[in-house]
Every structure is written in C-alpha cells, then in structure tokens.
Chain A
Amino acid sequence: MVTITLRYTTRGPASGHAPSAIVGVVASGNLEVLLERALPDTVCAVEIATPVRGYDEVWQAVVADFVERTSPGGLHISINDGGARPDTVALRLMQGIRMMEAGR
C-alpha cells in the first residue's frame, strides 16, 4: 500500500454545509472517498491510500484538475483506492462534492 498526500490552495471554500460525505466502495477497480469539512477555507488536502505503485503523476493530474474545477476549499479528502481507473477517481470526487453541496 502506498500513501500519497497532496495539498492545494483553493480560490475559496467548497459550497454547501454538509460536515462530511462518503461515496463509493473499496472494491477492485473502485474506491471510497471520505470528504470532511475540517480545514481552513482555502486549503484542500487529499490523502490517497492505493495498492498501485507508479501512478503518482496520474493521481496528481487527476486531483489537480478536480481542484481547479471545483475549488474544494476547507475539505480534507481521504481516498481508499482499490486500483480504480482515473475516470472513476474523477467521477467519485465529483460525486463527493455534489453530496457536500446537497447534504446538511
């Protein structure tokens, strides 16, 4: 298992008021994402635990695009990866953001 930690400064805070959300499942080719509103408004931290080695650059690219698109300030995001493909990662992250917006 490899752990990758990424930290970003965002334009502003993530919208919505849900304190936390969880999407996906830990299964082969899938992943579980836990989002928690736990950081200052312009900080986003993403912690990835993955069994797949050698994909750090891909993770960085996927998460950087996600941060650019959604400005998830204040969120601490933990990813428990089961070898998901980048498209699944991006989809789960977006689903997580939507749940943070919708939930209360």
Chain B
Amino acid sequence: MTLRSNVPSRRAWDTGQHSREQRLAAASRYARGKLVAHHDATALLEAVLRPGDRVCLEGDNQKQADFLARSLAQADPAVVRDLHIVQSGIVLAEHLDLFEAGIARKLDFSYSGPQGGPLARALAERKIELGAIHTYLELFSRYFVDLTPHVALTVARCADRDGNLYMGPNTEDSPVVIEATAFKQGIVIAQVNELVDKVPRVDVPGDRVDFVVVAPEAFYVEPLFTRDPAQVTETQILTAMLAIRGIYEEYGVRRLNHGIGFNTAAIELLLPTYAERRGLKGRIATHFALNPHPTLIPAIETGWVQQIHSFGSEVGMDAYMRARPDIYFTGRDGSMASNRLYCQAAGLYATDLFIGSTLQIDLQGNSSTVTRGRIAGFGGAPNMGSDPHGRRHASDPWLKAGREAADGQAGLARGRKLVVQIVETFGDKLVPTFVEQLDSVQLAETLRLDLPPVMIYGDDVTHIVTEEGIANLLLCRTADEREQAIRGVAGYTPVGRGRDRRAVEDLRARGVIRRPEDLGIDPLDAHKSLLAARSIKELMHWSGNLYDPPRKFRNW
C-alpha cells in the first residue's frame, strides 16, 4: 500500500471563501461598516448575488423579510437571474414575482398558505421549476446537506452596529437558516425595524451577519393562530368533547401539539369547563409544543397548562407571554423566544399526540390540504403527525396505543404516537371532507410532480374524529375494516352514505367506532355556553388585558 499524503494537492480548498470575499468587495461601496441604507438595498443584492445562487428569503410561517423581498423583486433580471429559492414560506406576492421576472427559476419550500392559488398557477404555466414541497424539519435538514443557501435574507426587530440581531418572540427559522449560510461562507443580510446601541438579547450573533438594512417600515407578521371563539360552531364543540373524552382522557395524553383549526381551538376552550368537570386537570394537556394560541389563555389562567414551547409567536401575545415566564420560554430580557427547528423536533419526538384538521381524507385515511387549484404546502403537520420510528422513550399513552396496534401479538413491546384528524364531515360550501381520491393525486399528475402531496399518510393516522363519532384505526385489522371505520364516521358525505351498515355496526360493537352516546355525550349538550371564552374580548379579559388582539379581530 502506498501512502500518498505527501503529494501536494493541486486544487483550491477555499473557493467558497474567495467567492465570499469577492461578493463582499463588490458590496463594500454600499456599506458603512455593516450598515446599508434602505435605498441601496437593491444595489446591494445585485452586488452580492450570482446567477443560480441558492437564496433563502425568509419567508417564515409568520414573520416576513418583506422589505428585502420587495428590494430583490426590483433587481435587474439581467444581473440577478435563475436563483434557486430555498425557504420555508412562500407567503408574499413578491416571492412569486421573482419567478415571473426570471430573477428566480427553481423552488424548494414547505408552506404557501396565502399564495397557494397563484403558486399552483405558476407551476401549471411552468414558470417555476419545483424541487419539492418539504416538511419544515426536512427542508431545514437539507440546508446542511444539499440545499445550503449562498445568501440568506433575514429579518429582525433590531440590530446593533456589530450586526447582533434581536428577533424577540419571532425568532422562528432564522437561527437554522443563518447557521447553515454563515458557516458555509455564505452572505447574511438582515432587514431590521431599528438600529440600537445594544440589543435586548442576542438571538443571532453579529459575526454571522454581514449587512444590516434598517427598513422603512416594520416587518410584516401574519396573525395565523388567532381563532375568534365567537366563530366556533356547536358541531366543533361536539367534536372537541369527543376528542377530550374519547382520546385525551382515554389515553391520559399530557404532552401534545394542536393544529390551528377551530376544532382544536374548541378543545382549548373546553379544558377549563367540560374537561374540568370530568376531573381531568393535571391528567391531560399539561405540556405543549404549540404556537402561542390566544384560545389557550383560559386554560393557562386556570392552571391547566404547565409548559409551552413555540415554533413562532402570535401577534398581540408579547406582553402576556412576558408576564407568564413559568409557562413560556423567555430570554433574560423577559421576552418570549421561539425556534421552529427545536419546536418541530420537540413536536415530533417529545409529544404523545398530534391532533389537527384537514381538508380531505380518503378511504385509507391519507389526508391532504391540497384542493383543486391550490397548493397550500405542509408546514409542520407531517412531522408532528407521524409516528417517529426514532423514538425510544416510553410513556403511558404511547404504550397503550402500541398495545392496541399489536392486537395481543407476541413480540417486542413498541409504542405508537397518537395521530388524530379532527374534522367536520362537510367543509365550507358543503364540500365533503371524505373523498374516494384526494385532489392532490390529480394535481400531481397535472403538474407532473414526483409525489402527490399528502399531509399525513393513512398508516400514521390512529384516530379520526367527526361529529358522528371516533374511528380508532389502531384497532382495525384489515384494509376493509379500516375503510368501513372511516366510512362509519363520514356522516352524510357520499363516502359516508356508501358504508356497509352491518360492518359499521360490528365495528361499533368492538369499540373501533364510538358514537357520542357510547361515550356518554349528548350532542344537545354541545353548546356555546361550554366555551371558557365566547369572544376575543373575553380572551383579553382572561389575560388581565395583557393580550392585545390584532385590530382585525377587534369588533367592539
């Protein structure tokens, strides 16, 4: 064997470093120290970007680097072109304008909520070359493997002259994006609301930040998690009662994540009332991986909730969270700290239950929020709504679910995460929630996607809750049983009316399907008086007026 370690290498090992130095040199004429005037933002971007660069333009679930997005959209497409956008949220119109102008060509993302319609159109017109629609953890992971950004455009509440950034409650995706970019010799540019002498706390250290632009206006934050209790329907209250009685109580679920829909808001508002009467305080719903939902305030104030870690923040919750450091994670400065990567990992590995709503469920229990002409993306639900095969710690709910799935078969003891879909059988405009085939299958064919976008795969779903009852899929032993269990809670939808009545009654006798009356719940008791708060104003009162609701939710 020949040792060749003494042969000098001919290749350069620091091309990234050289590229970075060239970019910084090109940008230097616009900067004084790290500071760049806002009217030079577009010129700065033209100086640092190279055709084909991977760029993360945050683009989070909630906060938006909206000024930098506008500045990039104004760049000269002859100079800045063919960018590969790698960011979790496609939320602003400017994000799609980049593709229209040819500034960007390729896209890898997670979530597109408000731009779901325009995004589907742009894909159909082949204006975007789509890599994949990811879950958050998946996209963040790829930042460190094959989607490392060359340039990250981030957003913070304030910065000092050294580039130290304070993001406050909306830290969100930034630490992971900036870590991947900065340590791979990329360029990090931050838009901030103001420049200060000393930041309240350092969320991102200044030596990872190259340029700071004070934006003319404060950055936009999407209020995604505010659910007005006045909009909660009696049917949603009924499904919430079913979930509390038939799942939370049944399995003793203490560690969990909730989706953002009205059904789970109803659960939050029933903890201090319905669940309290059942004597469940301290036995269920104590530890959350959850955004700061205003509808959880009454449960916090009555001592139900012990701890919450959050992916991001919610508009209007700052002062309340600051006053409740025993509940929320807060910095030495007192303000709440969020982190989407950490919280997603927490929701995946350290909770026993995910419960959320969806727009479509098929006969195998696969679910999707893609409907004709709209690609909403995934966000976090697929991570939290999956059974993590990497989990190795036991808990009572996890073991009980595992026993139900094992059906008394001998073998290694193994648990299961509870993954619950809670829906009403019909959605808006009488559109059935239960379908023979997900719209996303058709959409994947039309757009020639490699995979139909599926929010939660049927084999991860353990329970489906509707106003008709609970289907426990852990107890189904064949594909046919599973289909009938789903049809058996699908109400008056065509899928529900297509049930084999006898098979469904057999499943009910075995406890695979449980009706409200089987759980001692009278649907007529599902009344708005059961909600701990019946309006946004009452939530504000519960909080001791610390919660400051966004204007669009103030109707008094």
Contact = CB atoms under 8 A, between A and B. Distances in A.
Contacts of A55: 430
A58 B492 contact: yes
Contacts of B233: 88
Contacts of A1: none
A52 B425 CA distance: 17
Contacts of A12: none
Given A85-B430, A87-B425, A88-B233, A94 B524 contact: yes
Interface in A70-104: 83, 85-88, 91, 94-95, 98
Contacts of B425: 85-87
Interface string A47-82: 000001001011001100000000000000000000
Contacts of B339: none
Nearest to B234: A91
Contact of A91 (B235, B430, B492, B497): B235
Contacts of B424: 85, 87
A87 B524 contact: no
Interface string B397-430: 0000000000000000000000000001110011
Interface in B205-236: 233-235
Contacts, number: 38
Given A61-B497, A86-B492, A91 B523 contact: yes
A85 B468 CA distance: 13
B103 to A, nearest CB: 42
Contacts of A94: 523-524
B430 A87 contact: no
A55 B432 CA distance: 12
A85 B432 CA distance: 10
Contact of B524 (A61, A83, A98): A98
Contacts of B497: 57, 61
A17 B212 CA distance: 76
Nearest to A86: B492
Contacts of B492: 58, 61-62, 86
Contacts of B491: 86-87
Interface string B232-248: 01110010000000000
Nearest to B426: A85
B58 interface: no
Contacts of B467: 87
Nearest to B239: A87
Contacts of A83: 429-430
Nearest to A92: B234
A88 B429 CA distance: 13
Contacts of B238: 91
A61 B491 CA distance: 10
A85 B235 contact: yes
A41 to B, nearest CB: 24
Contacts of B235: 85, 87-88, 91
Nearest to A65: B492
Interface string B436-471: 000000000000000000000000000000011000
A88 to B, nearest CB: 6
Nearest to B492: A86
A86 B238 CA distance: 14
Given A58-B492, A62-B492, A91-B234, A86 B426 contact: yes
Q: Of A83, A87, A91, A98, which is in contact with the most chain B CB atoms at under 10 Å from its CB?
A: A87
Contacts of B468: 87
B524 A52 contact: no
Nearest to A57: B497
A42 to B, nearest CB: 25
Contacts of A85: 235, 424-426, 430
A5 to B, nearest CB: 19
Nearest to B429: A83
A86 B466 CA distance: 12
Contacts of A91: 234-235, 238, 523-524, 526
A79 to B, nearest CB: 15
Contacts of B526: 91
A57 B432 CA distance: 14
Nearest to A52: B430
Q: Of A55, A58, A61, A62, which is in contact with the most chain B CB atoms at under 10 Å from its CB?
A: A58
Contacts of B430: 52, 55, 83, 85
Contacts of A57: 497
A71 to B, nearest CB: 17
B228 to A, nearest CB: 15
A41 B526 CA distance: 30
A61 B497 CA distance: 8
Q: Of B424, B426, B492, B523, which is in contact with the most chain A CB atoms at under 10 Å from its CB?
A: B492
Nearest to A60: B492
A85 B433 CA distance: 12
Interface string B512-556: 000000000001101000000000000000000000000000000
Among all A-B residue pairs, the 5 with the closest Cβ atoms: A86-B492, A85-B426, A87-B467, A87-B235, A58-B492
Interface of A: 52, 55, 57-58, 61-62, 83, 85-88, 91, 94-95, 98
9 contacts: A58-B492, A85-B235, A85-B426, A85-B430, A86-B425, A87-B424, A87-B468, A95-B524, A98-B524
Given A85-B424, A86-B492, 16 more contacts: A55-B430, A58-B492, A62-B492, A85-B430, A86-B425, A86-B426, A86-B491, A87-B424, A87-B425, A87-B426, A87-B491, A88-B234, A88-B235, A91-B235, A91-B524, A98-B524
